[in-house]
Amino acid sequence: MNNLKYLLFFTFLMICGFSQSQTVEECDKILVEAVKEMNQKNHARSLELLTEVKSMAQTNNWSKQLFLAINNIGANYYLMLDYGEALDNYLEAYKIALKDLDAKHEMIVLNNIAILYSKDAKNDKAEEYFLKAYEIAKENNDSVKIGLYATNLATVANAENEIQKAESYIKIALPLLKNMPPVLAQAKITNAQNLVLKGKFEEAKEIALELLPTLKTSEFSEHRISIYMILSKVYENENNLPLAIDYVKRAGKDANVSLENKIDIYNRLTELYRKLNDNSVAFAYKDSVLFAKDSLSQIKNGKLFENSRIKFELQNYQKELSESQSKLKSERKLFYMILGGILFLILITLWAIWNYFSRLRQTKIIAESNQKIAELELEKQKNDKILLEQQLNEKEALTLLEQEKFKNEIEAKNRQLAAKALSLSTRNELIEDVIDSLSVHSEISQNPKLRKSISELKNQLKRDSDWDDFFSHFEEVNHGFLKTLKEKHPDLTSNDVRYISYVYMNLSTKEISLLLNITVEACRKRKERIIKKMNLAEDADLYNYLSVV
């Protein structure tokens, strides 16, 4: 049966493996490849991969992967200068971030949207989205993001010539970014641009010259170009136009300068050569501006054509992907049907095997039950016997307890009788002592009143009557003892019986001697005489013998 369980478990795993062939890890791997293709400007391939990721994420409800796919589709269109399509994708990613993800993802897409608007010179919209990202960063106490978004807000404020607003954001950003050199460089450049707008050229110059040596690598090309343009304005203010032109030309010679940067550079050179009254060169650079704008327009048109081509190819790819999914669905349906048939056969086989083993098990159970019934019967008889023995033992114990209780009661009453006898003996001895002491004096015998008193005291000495009362009480307490004793030992006198009664009450030799008004030694001799009269051994314990009479 265990083998059958393993077979069912294996079948279940096979079904799960088939239905869950697409995993999050595979999706993330495709996503990384898509971003790599985008960075290498292979936008068509990147969009194909991202579309595949988007489809997988939608099918499996993977919100994070869906967000990253759509956000990077927007980034592809941004790099392809199709800002409208980029914005549509960014807004779709923003909705996903709001609905299913955390503030970190929301900030990412808000910043991307704001950058898109700033590139399109829509500074009011750029400020709106930068500000949203900035507020979220503040709510989450993300100091680096607060500094980054404050820098972006300052850049927009500088572009709008809102100098004080830009300065306030720069003051927030600089302390927060001190441990993040790449982002800190952007904040310092924005600060230098703000200082130029405020006319503080020396401070701007100091910042620019300090930063320039740290921006030699290709990733800082935009930063370098910004520094060159700042230094150009600084030296223009110092009327050092040749040096101002030199810095602008350095910006133009940068290996990574874009057409948009070139337009700004040519406009700047046109202004500077006009100041030098070199109009021919100024006009030449003006023509360069027009040429650059025309080139940019052609590139954008070419990009639009390229975008249309990529979109067409993307639609074809989506169609192929849909057909592939439809085919896969049909194959899955066939697979499930075949698998269902196999499972049905397995279940019938299992039922037959289970039925066979069930009958065997029932036969075995019946045999075991009969054996258990016989064992239980035997066990019941045994238990009944034990119970009967326990009941007998309990009755014996109860009888012993009652006997012990009765014995204790007898002993207690005997102690009371002994105490009474001792008290009676003590009283009589005291009366005798008083009579003896009074009889010594002759004058007392001549006094009738005293003689009468002595006579009354003698009347109190009712020894025989008191002892008769004592034996009467003793017989009530120890019913049948005296009768049995006299039957076994008819030779015993009344004094002997009296002595034996005291021994039976477990009085000591000293106490008995006091009651009998004899010495301890005489008391011992009487005991020896009585033991001999009763035909007991000389070393016999009289009390133990009397206890069993």
Question: Where residue 8 falls among pLDDT bands split at 50, 70, 90?
Answer: very low
Choose the final residue of a domain: 232, 255, 282. Answer: 282
Question: Where residue 370 falls among pLDDT bands split at 50, 70, 90?
Answer: confident
Tell me, yes or no, whether 174 and 203 share the same domain: no
What is the per-residue pLDDT across 239-281, written as a single tens digit (0 to 9) for each? 998 998 888 888 888 877 776 777 777 788 888 888 888 877 7
Helix (H) or strand (E) holding 108: helix 103-119
- Tell the residue number behind the tokens 């060159």, with chain if given: 228
Task: Find the mean pLDDT for residues 531-539.
Answer: 86
Inform me whether the pLDDT recorded for 113 exceeds 60: yes
Tell me, yes or no, whether 185 and 213 share the same domain: no
Choose the final residue of a domain: 170, 197, 224. Answer: 197
Tell me, yes or no, whether 184 and 208 share the same domain: no
Q: What is the pLDDT of residue 307?
A: 47
CATH number of the domain that 48 lies in? 1.25.40
What is the per-residue pLDDT across 24-80, written as a single tens digit (0 to 9) for each? 899 999 999 999 998 888 888 999 999 989 988 988 999 999 999 999 999 898 888
Inform me whether the pLDDT recorded for 316 exceeds 50: no
463 vs 87: which has the higher pLDDT:
87
Q: What is the pLDDT of residue 22?
A: 60
Choose the final residue of a domain: 282, 312, 346. Answer: 282
Name the DSSP class of 440.
T
What domain range includes position 56? 21-89
- Tell the residue number behind the tokens 């004793």, with chain if given: 485
Q: What is the pLDDT of residue 413?
A: 62
Q: What is the pLDDT of residue 459?
A: 65
**Structural contact between residues 311 and 319, judged by C-beta atoms closer than 8 angstroms:** no
- Tell the residue number behind the tokens 């809102």, with chain if given: 162
Q: What is the pLDDT of residue 510?
A: 86
* 379 token code pair: 């066990």
Q: How far apart are the C-alpha atoms of 196 and 202, rounded to whole Å?
A: 9
366-394 b/e (C-beta count within 10 Å ≥ 16 → b): eeeeeeeeeeeeeeeeeeeeeeeeeeeee
Task: Find the mean pLDDT for residues 284-301.
Answer: 59
- Tell the residue number behind the tokens 């639009």, with chain if given: 304
Cα 439–chain centre separation? 105
CATH number of the domain that 497 lies in? 1.10.10.10
* 382 token code pair: 């045994």
Q: What is the pLDDT of residue 315?
A: 46
CA 88, 90, 96 angle in degrees (round to 5)?
A: 110
Inform me whether the pLDDT recorded for 419 exceeds 70: no
What is the per-residue pLDDT across 98-109, written as a single tens digit (0 to 9) for each? 888 888 888 888
Q: How far apart are the C-alpha atoms of 1 and 5, rounded to whole Å?
A: 6
Tell me, yes or no, whether 189 and 119 share the same domain: yes
Q: What is the pLDDT of residue 31?
A: 92
Q: What is the pLDDT of residue 1?
A: 42
Q: What is the pLDDT of residue 313?
A: 47
Task: Find the mean pLDDT for residues 210-221.
Answer: 84
111: CB partners within 8 A, 6+ apart: 129, 130, 133, 148, 149, 152
Inform me whether the pLDDT recorded for 387 exceeds 90: no
Q: What is the pLDDT of residue 321?
A: 61
Q: What is the pLDDT of residue 318?
A: 54
Tell me, yes or no, whether 191 and 203 share the same domain: no
68: CB partners within 8 A, 6+ apart: 31, 53
Instruction: Assess if residue 168 is contained within a domain.
Output: yes
What is the pTM assigned to this prediction? Answer: 0.51
What is the per-residue pLDDT across 426-472, written as a single tens digit (0 to 9) for each? 565 666 666 666 666 666 666 676 666 666 666 665 444 555 666 67
Q: What is the pLDDT of residue 488?
A: 87
Instruction: Assess if residue 398 is contained within a domain.
Output: no
350 vs 505: which has the higher pLDDT:
350
Which CA distances in Å does 34 have to 8, 46, 50, 106, 109? 40, 4, 6, 21, 18
Inform me whether the pLDDT recorded for 87 exceeds 70: yes
209: CB partners within 8 A, 6+ apart: 231
Instruction: Assess if residue 528 is contained within a domain.
Output: yes
CATH number of the domain that 184 lies in? 1.25.40.10
Instruction: Assess if residue 443 is contained within a domain.
Output: no
Mean pLDDT of the chain: 79
Instruction: Assess if residue 372 is contained within a domain.
Output: no
Which CA distances in Å does 427 have to 66, 420, 457, 466, 506? 119, 10, 11, 12, 22
Tell me, yes or no, whether 211 and 193 share the same domain: no
Instruction: Assess if residue 221 is contained within a domain.
Output: yes
Q: How far apart are the C-alpha atoms of 338 and 350, rounded to whole Å?
A: 18
Tell me, yes or no, whether 203 and 174 share the same domain: no
Q: How far apart are the C-alpha atoms of 65 and 72, rounded to whole Å?
A: 11
- Residue 20's SS3 state is coil
What share of the chain has pLDDT > 70, as a percent? 75
* 25 token code pair: 């890890």
Task: Find the mean pLDDT for residues 299-314.
Answer: 46
Instruction: Assess if residue 115 is contained within a domain.
Output: yes
Domain count, the chain: 4
**Structural contact between residues 183 and 222, judged by C-beta atoms closer than 8 angstroms:** no
